[in-house]
Amino acid sequence: MKEKRKNPVANTIAAVDLKSMIHQHSLFFDKLIEHVPAKFYLPIDDEDKPWFQGLSEAEKVLTRKETKENIKQARKDRLDPEKSTATTLDLLKQRLEKENLNISDNKEMEMKPQMSGPEEDNRSVTYEELRQRLHHKIEEFRASRNCGNSEKSKWNVKGEKEGIQQKKRKRDDGSTENKLQSGDSSDKAEKDAAEASKGLMFSHVKLDNGETHGKKKRKFSKFKELERAKKLEDAKKDPEKGDFVAEKLAWKSAMSRASGSKVHDDPKLLQKSIKKQKRRQQKNAQKWKERIENRERMRADKQKKRSENIAERIHQKKMHRIAKREKKLMMRPGFEGRKEGYINEGSA
């Protein structure tokens, strides 16, 4: 088979069309970039600007005033057709030119010390190593240019965290030492108090809020206390052990009164208290009975009133229906109206 010959004219036309297409796409993207504001497309260099929160009040006021003036001036310049405003594409090109100049300056600074002086020829450094160093430096400059702010912020955050951790460690060490010292002193004070209070006896102590500390005494009823008092009175009358029992009871009652407890050892007073309690119970029972009677009476009155109202309402409905029926019976058919009597009733 014969091979097809390639047409060079068609290849040149295709290459021209491709170049024109690429140029059109480039123009389209340039126009698209111009529509994007520069503050959203290009990063802002805030390294020279001081931190606003770290300024004094006067500097803050001055900074706000300058910001307002800059905003007003930028708005005027943007609306002024005579002034040529730099687009985002122009700013991007200027930024790239500055970066290229910085890279070339850095290359020159790196190459000068390496190529200066005849005594450096004796060093065992090849051109490949120098080239690798140069590429390494260029990469470092690019990384610092792109991520300089983030690295600085990372180092600042890391330093702040380390400082906070050091302060926390110092504070914890001081608190542990204080706790140990306070614990030793509190243990010593408790031991001294225990040794001093070995020979003391504490009874019921009543505080300001009404709470009592100490062993609670069991409370008996008045009847049991009366029986107990009568038995003690009989024991006192015993000729053999009466004096001993009386003295013992006197000491016991005195200690109880001194501790703040009530002593019920008089049968007469106990009988009087029991009678008083009975009268109070009877009075309360009478009041409760009257209360129940009043409640039942009020309930009956309400029920009676309700029944009367229901019966009255039923009667009124019934009378209303009767009156309505009689009114219908008095009406006559046609347009004669109501029947009030015969027409010739008076002449008859």
Residues 39-48 have pLDDT tens digits of 666 665 555 5
130 Cβ contact partners less than 8 Å away, ≥ 6 residues apart:
114
Comparison of pLDDT for 111 and 324, the residue scoring more: 324
Q: How many CB atoms lie within 10 A of CB 132?
A: 11
**Domain boundary, last residue among 265, 281, 301:** 265
Does 120 have pLDDT greater than 50?
A: no
Is residue 82 one of the residues assigned to a domain? no
Same domain, 249 and 298: no
- How many domains does one find in the chain? 2
Is residue 70 one of the residues assigned to a domain? no
Average confidence score pLDDT of the chain: 71
φ and ψ at residue 242, rounded to 5 degrees: -65, -45
DSSP state of 220: -
Same domain, 259 and 233: yes
Same domain, 302 and 281: yes
DSSP state of 86: P
Is residue 58 one of the residues assigned to a domain? no
Global pTM reads: 0.26
Q: How many helices (H) and strands (E) does the chain have?
A: 8, 2
Is residue 292 one of the residues assigned to a domain? yes
The residue range of the domain holding 317 is 267-332
**Domain boundary, last residue among 247, 265, 283:** 265
Note the helical H segments in 119-221.
127-196
Same domain, 278 and 328: yes
Is residue 172 one of the residues assigned to a domain? no
Is residue 146 one of the residues assigned to a domain? no
Same domain, 298 and 273: yes
Same domain, 259 and 271: no
| Pairing of β 205-206 and β 212-213 | antiparallel
Q: What pLDDT is stored for residue 47 in this prediction?
A: 52
Sign of the alpha-carbon torsion through 97, 101, 106, 108: positive
Same domain, 325 and 273: yes
Residue-wise pLDDT for 247-272, tens only, equals 777 777 677 767 777 777 777 787 88
Is residue 279 one of the residues assigned to a domain? yes
Is residue 227 one of the residues assigned to a domain? yes
